[in-house]
Chain A
Amino acid sequence: MAQAAIAPPKRTTDYVARMGGVPLAWLGVLPFFIFAVMFLILPSLSLFTGSFTDAKGGFTLDNVLGLTRQDIVDAYVLSIQISVVTAIVGGIFGFFIAYALVMTGVPSALRTSLVTFCGVASNFAGVPLAFAFVAALGRTGFITEFMRDTLHFNIYDHGFNLYSFLGLSLTYLYFQFPLMVLVMMPALEGLRREWREASENLGANGFQYWRYIALPILTPSILGTMILLFGNAFGAYATAYALTGGRLQLVAIQIGAQIRGDVLHNPGLGYAMGFGMVVIMALSILAYTLLQRRAARWLQ
């Protein structure tokens, strides 16, 4: 049997060995699917079933309905807020930088080093990032002291706090905008010179070119990447935990606390929270895929 799967038939396209209706060639991808089921699908599914199971093992909607509890709603709102804010700010900032790198006469050495740096920064999340920001913007951080000593302006006396919404957003932006830069640069490079020249020929000025051609072409990539940034921030746990401890009640932080010790006093409710998180992530990836498809339709 195994022989048949391993020794290839001469004309593989015409002839596929079968075992009980399943083509034997499928055995080649079995390990991958077993892995995916064991470590990706079943764990997620178990959270899903857990969300609809009560303490005695019966079916219930209580857990999912329990998500409307004020503190849980607040957590979702806060997580979504910080993800939306950093996705939009990081997206716009990153777009301008990608534009600057691609479209203006920035020296190529500067360009290469910044792109590499963006590659590093977009992968540099978690504990070390949090500590770097503490060292820069913490109460005794580098920038804080610099501004206090030379500009006589103590940001902490004026309402700034690194361990707050604003502080965490600034920290997230450190990996958000570089990701935007990395994704947008090829998209901007994909704008063909002829499009601009054709539009000029037809009498369009620079503004009209951007308004009618370049921006519409880029919009799916811009929105799509911002959605990626949203997911990037929404799922982040390590950076938030390392920076703020438990101070900001994000969904990911609450789930972490629930795993440590049932702080919600209801395991089912914890699973429902996790399930809700997956739903939001799935919706955003769905939107991303639809946008990509739209872009692909134009750019075949």
Chain B
Amino acid sequence: MSFLELSNIRKQFSNVATPAVQDFNLKVEKGEFVSFLGPSGCGKTTTLRMIAGFEHPTSGSIVINGKNVIGVPANKRKIGMVFQSYALFPNMTVADNIGFGLRVAKRPKAEIEPRVAEMLKLIHLSDKGKRYPAQLSGGQQQRVALARALAIKPELLLLDEPLSALDAKIRVSLRNEIRAIQRQTGVTAIYVTHDQEEAMSLSDRIVVMSDGRMEQVGTPFEIYNFPQTQFVASFVGTLNQVQARVVDPSAGTLEVEGQPIVAAKAFDARKGETIAVALRPEMMSLDGKTQDDAVNRLVVTVEETTFLGSIVRTRARLRESVISFDTFNNPNLALPQRGEKITVAFPREAILLLKPSNAATENLL
């Protein structure tokens, strides 16, 4: 049995027609670091708050460590939480903030003090224990919030966009620190973010969400390389998405705006149906230096080439769709000109068939 099990969670706010979260099923193992990734308003916070006990699911069950916690108030769940806005108590010093959970649990002073010192050391703020939160920088405040959440030794740590109020540089260093501390303490963590790079670099697994539903669950590698739906493909990474007409599913053949392409495997679809496919840009090349297995060719018109130092990004148009791909820069490269017709080649494996988004709405491209 998994450490945390969410089954068929649904949350419907009374004043909103569509549910904020639905059909949510997730199992998290002990010690795992799982991220919820998705655009604003997709229900990440709502799901997190249901786990914490601040919202109650309309239906479904939440089991933590074998115990159903539906109906258990937030202050009895022993879940640590880190808020986007830090939410440090302004009237208490850093040390008092960190010790608060132990203090309200009526632990003896002899236990609180060393624990606070240990936590301060963990976040490298040992000399700042007597300061008030307002006297710390944003990054320091968020570290204190993390220490405060961990001081009660929770088995589950929830973080709701903890870095989004900080500037870019601190974000990177602090996210590494968060991950290191999580490994060190072995706490199971759920991390909400709408920054895909953050999710990719931190997580054991990522849950991609859209419009209150899960789109895909998988390791960063899987999510990035094998997106299953249009939504994931467009939200994560830089895949080119085009509409293709199915010619012969058993042979894996398709047609993009009149030009034939062939996928690596047979697939399941009706003849003549239009489906979304993704084309991996890193497997595309300009014709002429074609690899042997690059059996697919598309004639496109160059719209723009952008010189980005080590790579050159080319944006080109079929008729309707636009694709872009990168070529490594080298001094002998003959850059395609604007308006020039060129042929791009790619192997069968570069084609990825996408399901429509779970949310069944139009994709974001």
A164 at the interface (CB under 8 A from B): no
Sample of 11 more A-B contacts, CB < 8 Å, known A195-B89, A197-B87, A203-B152: A192-B85, A197-B74, A197-B83, A198-B148, A200-B73, A201-B74, A201-B80, A201-B81, A202-B80, A204-B75, A212-B104
The residue in chain A whose Cβ has the minimal distance to the Cβ of B152 is A202
For A203, A212, A213, A217, the residue with the greatest tally of chain B CB atoms inside 10 Å of its CB is A203
Does any Cβ of B come within 8 Å of A68's Cβ? Answer: no
Cβ contacts under 8 Å, B212 to chain A: none
B78's partner among A203, A204, A216 (CB-CB below 8 A) is: A203
Contact between A213 and B85, CB atoms less than 8 A apart: no
Contact with B along A189-208 (1 / 0, CB 8 A): 00010110111111111001
Q: Please give, as numbers and ranges, the residues of chain A lying within 8 Å of B85 by CB-CB distance.
A: 192, 194
Q: B79 at interface (Cβ–Cβ under 8 A)? A: yes
- Chain A stretch 153-207: residues in CB contact (< 8 A) with chain B: 192, 194-195, 197-205
Name the contact of A198 in the complex, choosing from B73, B78, B87, B132 (C-beta under 8 A): B87
Residue in B79, B81, B100 whose beta carbon sits within 8 Å of that of A212 in the complex = B100
Flag whether A299 is at the interface (Cβ < 8 A).
Answer: yes
Chain B stretch 141-198: residues in CB contact (< 8 A) with chain A: 145, 148-149, 152
B328 at the interface (CB under 8 A from A): no
A interface size (C-beta, 8 A): 21
Q: Given that A197-B81, A197-B83, A298-B134 are known contacts, is A204 also in contact with B100, CB under 8 Å in the complex?
A: yes
Main SS at interface, chain A: helix
In the complex, A198→B54 CA distance in Å? 10
Query: Is B4 interfacial (CB 8 A cutoff)?
Result: no
- Tell me how far the C-beta of A91 lies from the nearest C-beta in chain B, rounded to whole angstroms: 20
Q: Which of B75, B83, B87 contacts A203 (CB 8 A)?
A: B75
Closest chain A residue to B105, Cβ basis: A203
A3 surroundings in chain B (CB, below 8 A): none
**Ranked 4 nearest A-B pairs via Cβ:** A194-B87, A202-B101, A298-B90, A300-B134
Cα(A294)–Cα(B78), bound, Å: 33
Which of B106-143 touch A at CB < 8 Å? 132, 134
The residue on A at minimum CB distance from B88 is A198
Residue of A nearest to B160 (CB): A194
Chain A residues whose C-beta falls within 8 Å of the C-beta of B132 in the assembled complex? 297-298
B332 lies within 8 A of chain A by Cβ: no
Interface residues of B in 48-77 (CB under 8 A from A): 52-54, 73-77
| Between-chain CB contacts (< 8 Å), 22 pairs | A197-B54, A197-B83, A197-B87, A198-B148, A200-B54, A200-B75, A201-B74, A201-B79, A201-B81, A202-B101, A202-B152, A203-B75, A203-B104, A203-B152, A204-B101, A212-B103, A212-B104, A213-B92, A297-B132, A297-B134, A298-B90, A298-B132
How many angstroms between the C-alpha atoms of A203 and B75 in the bound complex?
4
- Chain A residues 264-300 with CB under 8 Å of chain B are 297-300
Interchain CB contact under 8 A, A195 and B87: yes
**Contact with B75, one of A192, A201, A217 (Cβ below 8 angstroms):** A201
